[in-house]
A = this chain, B = another copy of it.
Amino acid sequence: MSNLTGNLAFTIENKTACIGILGLGYVGIPLGVSISKAGFKIIGFDVLESRVNQLNQGKSPIKHIADSEIATMIGVGFEATVDFSRASECDVLIICVPTPLDKTREPDLSFVTATMDSIAPYLREGQLLSLESTTWPGTTEQILLPYIENRGLKVGSNFYLVYSPEREDPGNAHYSTKTIPKVVGGHTKACLELGSKLYATFIDVVVPVSSTAASEMVKLLENIHRSVNIGLVNEMKIVADAMGLDIFEIIDAAATKPFGFTAYYPGPGIGGHCIPIDPFYLTWKAREYGLHTRFIELAGEINASMPQYVVDKTVRALNEVGKSLKGAKILALGIAYKRDVDDMRESPSVFVMELLRDWGADVAYSDPNVPVFPKMREHSFDLSSVKITPNSLQDFDAVILLTDHSDFDYEMILEFSPLLIDTRGKYRVRDKKVIKA
């Protein structure tokens, strides 16, 4: 073991290493909370001055992280900054920035490269750099490694590089950052050892794999698996519905098989920052090898068509009572992308609302977690959440349940909605006014 490796190993073990977290969002903040609980001092970096100020004042920008957790973190030693030159103060740098798709559905690594551009001048001997952002296999070696080598550093002997995919699941009541096993791949054996040592200080189980590319692929496979399984049940929903069968009843019965079957449920599409996006990182990279990722494409196509399916069902249901969608008053119930979160990214509810508006409907929404329709890059509604009451419900021509938050009063919704389009299998009753979609 070289002196540098030994030094870094030592400061990690005795928690005196300074940890830099680059990107203070849905991944970086819970990660910081966990690292801080282990006793490390942290410098958090973000380009958003407002975000940095908010955190330094002890306020959490994320619904499921309490202000008190930020305050505790500050107590242990946490400081947020927009000054990336301070990367030189850090012994460990962990990148947690978004990796979206661009408009033509190609990987947009600009947040990663912008981060590397900002910190490159301040990289120094004896640092460990970990990328946590989801990306295509090879990113760490093909994109990050050259930045480091261009600085004259030698990865594996005086600088250490790992990839360790984030596995955050906001709103998951059973697992937290600490209890979700963490996969780590290193550029060299020494990198892997130091990376594993770091994560083991604040995560219960560390899972080493043979390379950074392998660990990049692990994360993609996880989300491809979800995307494809949700795509499959969405297709099965359409078939079952045509045959007069309730797909939710079918899935629940199939789930009684104690092996060989895992229940996934259909819905109005897929949302969030992972499932609709990550799979296409592999699609893009596979093209370089002359390969097509046909399951990913098919899942993407079917999942993306579900908002239209929901709207078609609504048009049909209104038609049955002699109404057109044009001019109809429609209430969208739940606009966050999944139950009990406030995150709107890629929410299928928004796509449904846009289609309804295109058809000429008068659209309102209700979501206990989203009081005002937020400013979004691609979507715009000048709306606030409607309070649901027996009177307000009766005012609509149709109510569409899109996100099944725990806080909704489902009995009242059933009783007072004139027409109820259920995309979540919440209502198993046989009632003419409940339409399964």
Chain A residues with CB under 8 Å of chain B are 137-138, 167, 169, 172, 174-175, 179-181, 183, 205, 207, 209-211, 213-215, 217-218, 221-222, 224-226, 228-229, 231-232, 235-236, 238-240, 242-246, 249-251, 253-254, 256-262, 282, 285-286, 289-291, 293-295, 298, 302
Contact = CB atoms under 8 A, between A and B. Distances in A.
20 contacts: A137-B245, A167-B257, A169-B259, A172-B259, A174-B259, A175-B258, A175-B259, A183-B254, A205-B256, A207-B256, A213-B243, A214-B253, A217-B240, A221-B250, A225-B260, A225-B262, A226-B260, A228-B229, A229-B229, A294-B302
A251 B222 CA distance: 9
Contacts of A249: 209-210, 214
A246 B214 contact: yes
B294 A245 contact: no
A254 B218 contact: yes
Given A221-B254, A222-B260, 16 more contacts: A172-B259, A180-B257, A181-B256, A183-B254, A183-B256, A214-B245, A214-B246, A214-B249, A217-B240, A226-B261, A228-B228, A242-B291, A243-B289, A294-B298, A295-B298, A295-B302
A137 B249 CA distance: 14
Nearest to A205: B256
A16 to B, nearest CB: 29
B291 A239 contact: yes
A258 B180 contact: yes
A298 B298 CA distance: 9
A224 B261 CA distance: 10
A140 to B, nearest CB: 13
B260 A169 contact: yes
A221 B251 contact: yes
A218 B257 CA distance: 10
A286 B217 contact: no
A232 B295 contact: yes
A215, A261, A302: most-surrounded residue (chain B CB, <10 A): A261
Given A167-B257, A183-B253, A254-B221, A291 B138 contact: no
Nearest to A260: B226
Nearest to A167: B257
Nearest to A235: B295
What are the 6 A-B residue pairs with the smallest beta carbon separation, nearest first? A242-B289, A181-B256, A262-B262, A218-B253, A207-B256, A232-B295
Contacts of A224: 232, 236
Contacts of A174: 258-259
Contact of A217 (B222, B245, B256): B245
A353 B198 CA distance: 50
B228 A286 contact: no
Contact of A215 (B180, B251, B253): B253
Contacts of A259: 169, 172, 174-175
A364 to B, nearest CB: 32
A185 B291 CA distance: 44
A239 B286 contact: yes
A226 B232 CA distance: 11
A268 B256 CA distance: 29
Contact of A250 (B167, B214, B244, B262): B214
A195 to B, nearest CB: 14
